[in-house]
A and B are shown apart, each in its own frame.
Chain A
Amino acid sequence: MHTSARKAHSVVHIILIVSAVAMLIPFVWMVLTSLKTTTEATQIPIRYFPDAPSLRGYIEAIKQSEFPHYYLNTIISAVMKTVFPVIFSSMAAYAFARIRFPGSTALFVLILSVMMVPNPVFYTPQYMMMSELGLVNTVTALWIASLISPFATFLLRQFFMSISKELEEASVLDGCNPFQIYWHIMLPLVRSALVAIVIIQLQWAWNELQWPLIINSSPEKMTLSSGIATLVSMFGTDYPVLMAGAFMAVVPMIILFFLFQKQFIEGIAFSATKG
C-alpha cells in the first residue's frame, strides 16, 4: 500500500472513531447519571463516576410511575401500528401496482398526498373523534388512528412493480383471484421489503410522543414516551430519576436492535434501493 493511501486510511479512522464516540456520549452519560445521587449529578466541578452506584433513581422512577403499564401499552400499540399497516398497505400496494381499475391513479395520489400533511393537523380533529367514540384515555386510542400507512403503501407499490409478471399469469390460469395471488405468490416475494417496513413502523410507533401525550392522561394508559415526559413534570430536575426512566424506556428497543441489527440495517438499506 502507498504511504499516502495509508495516511488517508488513518485519517478516515480518526474521523470515524471521534464521531462514533460523540454519538455514544449521550448513552454513556444517561447510564452514569442514572446511578448517581442527585448531588453527584449536579456537582461542581463535574464528576464522571458516582462514588457508589446508587439505584435510588430506578427505585423512585418505578415507584412513582407505572412502568409495567407503559411497557405493555407501548408494546400493544407498537404491534397494532405495525401489523395492520403492513397487512393493509401491502394489499393496497399490490392493487395499485398490478390491477388497472378506474380511478386508481387519482386514489393513489390522494393517499400519497396525506404523507405531506404535518401530523399535528390530525391531532385536534382526531381527539374530538376519539371523544365522540368514548375512546379518550384508552389504550385503543393510542393505535386506532394509525392502522394504515401511506408511506408503506407507497414503498411497497414500488416493490410490487419491480416483480416480473410471469408468475402471476400462471396463477391466473390456475383460477386464483387477485387476493389469492397477492397472498400466496406476491407477498412472499417482497418479504425483505416487509421486514424493512416492520422495522420502520415499529420505530415510529415506539418513539411517538405527541399523540400519546395528548390523548391519554391516566398513568396506566400512557406509553413509555409520554410516561417519561410526565416524569419530567413530576420530578423536575431530579436528574438521576429522569435518567433512570429514560434508560428503562430505551433499553427494549436497543436490545431488539442488537439482536436483529442485521435485519434492521439491511431492511433500511433495502428500502432505499426502491424508494
Chain B
Amino acid sequence: MVRRNKFSFLLVAVMMILSLITAACGNNSNNAPNNKPENSASNNAGAGEATEAPKKDVTITYAIWDKIQQPAMEAIAKEFTAQNPNIKVKVEVIPWGDYWTKMSAAAPAGTLPDVFWMHGGQFVTYASGKFLEPITSKVEAGEINLNDYAANLASIYTLNGENYGIPKDFDTIGLAYNKELFDQAGIAYPDDTWTYAKLAEVAKQLSQPDKGIYGFGAKMDTQTGYWNDILANGGKIITDDMSKSGYDDPASIEALQARYQMTVDGASPTHQQMTDMEATEMFKSGKLAMIFDGSWRISDIDSSDIIKGKWDWAKLPMGKAKRANIINGLGNVMSASGKNKEEAWLFLKFLGSQKAAEITAQMGAAIPAFNGTQDAWLASRPNLNLKVFTEQVADATPYPSGSTAYSVWFAKEPEIMSQVWGGAISVEEGAKKVAEMMNQAIADSK
C-alpha cells in the first residue's frame, strides 16, 4: 500500500498549493472556500492509513465460491486462529459465476487471494502460468502426506511432477426426488434399478404443466446435467487424452437429444422457464418431482421449508452403457505472489488437516477428502440417504479437466448449448458446433 500513501501525499500537496494561490487578492484572509478541498484531502489520507497493519499480526484472505460452505470455512478459520493467534483469516465469497473472471484478472496483477479454492478444470492454466506456489518441497519434507486423501484426488493438482494443491473435498451427483409428488401419483420412489427410460416415463406421468408442476428438471447443465447422460449412454465428453471433443459422438448426441426432448414433451419445464426460475429453486419450491444435483447442494435444498422432510436422494439411473457419474475434487492452493506466504502455508496445511476435514464433515458442507472423515459427513444429515454420493464414486468418471484448453471451451460451451435448449438449432447441429469449437480450442492451446 506504499504507493497509495504516496498518492495521498501528492493529493495533499496539490491541495495545499491550491489553497495558497486561492488566497484572496491583496491579503484579505477570507478563507471560507479553502476548507472544503483540505477536508477531502485529509479524508483521503486517512483512508490510506487504514490499511496499514503492524508487522506481527497478519490477515490472510481465503477466497471460496460457495456461500453455502461459508459457515464451515469460517469455523475452520476460527479454529486456525485459535491455534495461531497472530494470523487472522478473512473468508471471502466470490460467486461461481464471477469467480474465474475475477481470478484471471487478479493473476497477472499479482492480486490473487493468499489461499483460495481451486477447481480441477482451471488448475493447469494457473499452475502453468506460475501463479500458484508449488508445495512440492513441503510434501517432500513430510509436512503433509498426500496419501491421506481419498480417490487419488491429490493427483488433480499435480503438474509436471510439482504439487500445488491439497485436496479439500470431492463431489458426485445424485438424483433428488420429491416424495410428496410421487406419493400423490402413487408411483414408487426411484431406486437402484431405474434406467434412463424409466426416468423419462415417470417424469411424463408426474408432470402437470397446467399447475406448473413437472416430473424432471432437464436443465441445460454440464456437471449436474447432460455430461452424466452422455457417459451413461456410452458417449464421451472429451477423449481420455484430451485431444478431441466427444460431443459429436453419436452416443453423445443421442443422450443430449433425449434430455432436450423432455423439455419439448412437457416432462420438464422449458429452458426459458428454468431461466426465469432455476431448476434447483423449482425443486425447492415443490414444482419439480426430480432433478440431478451435486452433493454440494444438499444443505441448500434442505434449507427450503416447503420440501423439508419430503425429499430424498437416489443414485443416478442406469444408461444403455452403464451407470455414470462425474466426480470432481476441489483443492486449496496458495498464491505465488502473496505477501504473507509463510502464514498462508500454515493455513493451507491446516485446511488439509484431519481437524479441518472433520469440521467440514460435521457441518455437512461437503464430502471431505481426508480419508476416514467421510462417515462423519454421512451422519451429518441422518434423514437423507447420503450414501448414494459415496457409493457412486465407484461408477464415476473424473471431471474432464486437466488441460489449458478447458477454460476456453468451457466458457464457450454454454453459449452454444443454450441455442439448442432454446430451440434455435437442432441438437445434432449444436453438438457438432461444440465439438468443432472444442477441437479448435485444443488446437489453439498447443
Contact = CB atoms under 8 A, between A and B. Distances in A.
A and B directly contacting (CB within 8 A): yes
Interface of A: 38-39, 42, 44, 64, 76, 79-80, 83, 87, 127, 130-131, 133-140, 144, 171, 174-177, 179-180, 183-184, 214, 217-219, 230, 232-234, 236-238
B22 interface: yes
Interface of B: 1, 3-4, 7, 21-22, 24-26, 33, 36-37, 40, 44, 47, 61, 67, 92-98, 102, 105-106, 108-111, 212, 276-278, 280-281, 284-285, 306
A237 B276 contact: yes
Nearest to B107: A131
Contacts of A234: 67, 93, 95
Given A234-B67, A237-B277, A238-B281, A183 B108 contact: no
Nearest to A213: B98
B4 A136 contact: no
A90 to B, nearest CB: 12
A44 B4 contact: no
B285 A38 contact: yes
Contacts of A183: 22, 33
B22 A179 contact: yes
A125 to B, nearest CB: 13
A125 B204 CA distance: 53
A217 B98 contact: yes
Given A80-B40, A135-B3, A218-B61, 5 more contacts: A39-B285, A39-B306, A42-B276, A179-B22, A180-B21
B111 A136 contact: yes
In the A-B complex, the 4 residue pairs with the smallest Cβ-Cβ separation, listed nearest first, are A131-B109, A233-B97, A217-B102, A233-B95
B4 A140 contact: yes
A76 B47 CA distance: 10
A233 B3 contact: no
B46 to A, nearest CB: 11
A138 B5 CA distance: 13
Given A140-B7, A217-B105, A238-B281, A175 B95 contact: no
B277 A138 contact: no
Contact of A131 (B22, B33, B108): B108
Contact of A138 (B4, B67, B94, B102): B4
B303 to A, nearest CB: 11
Given A134-B3, A184-B25, A42 B106 contact: no
A179 B111 contact: no
Given A38-B281, A42-B277, A87-B37, A230 B26 contact: no
26 contacts: A38-B281, A38-B284, A39-B285, A42-B276, A76-B47, A83-B36, A83-B40, A87-B37, A127-B105, A130-B109, A133-B3, A134-B3, A136-B105, A136-B109, A136-B111, A138-B4, A140-B4, A140-B47, A174-B25, A174-B26, A180-B21, A183-B22, A217-B102, A219-B94, A237-B277, A237-B281
Contacts of A230: 94-95, 98
B26 A233 contact: no
A138 B92 CA distance: 15
Contacts of B22: 179-180, 183-184
Contacts of B67: 64, 234
B306 A236 contact: no
Centre residue among B212, B276, B281 by max chain A CB count within 10 A: B281
B97 to A, nearest CB: 3
Contacts of B26: 174-175
B47 A139 contact: yes
Nearest to B102: A217
A135 B95 contact: no
A214 B306 CA distance: 38
Contacts of B102: 217
Nearest to A137: B111
Contacts of A64: 67, 93
B106 A44 contact: no
Contacts of A174: 25-26
Nearest to A39: B285
B33 A214 contact: no
Given A38-B285, A133-B3, A237 B278 contact: yes
B110 A131 contact: yes
Contact of B21 (A87, A135, A179): A179
A136 B212 CA distance: 46
A30 B66 CA distance: 27
B385 to A, nearest CB: 26
Contacts of A219: 92-94
Contacts of A136: 105-106, 109, 111
A176 B108 CA distance: 51
A131 B40 contact: no
Contacts of B277: 42, 237
A68 to B, nearest CB: 15
B276 to A, nearest CB: 7
Given A39-B285, A238-B281, A233 B98 contact: yes
A234 B300 CA distance: 12
Contacts of B285: 38-39, 42
Given A44-B212, A131-B111, A238-B281, A171 B25 contact: yes
B363 to A, nearest CB: 17
Nearest to A218: B92
B25 A180 contact: yes
A140 B280 CA distance: 39
Given A131-B108, A183-B22, A233-B97, A79 B92 contact: no
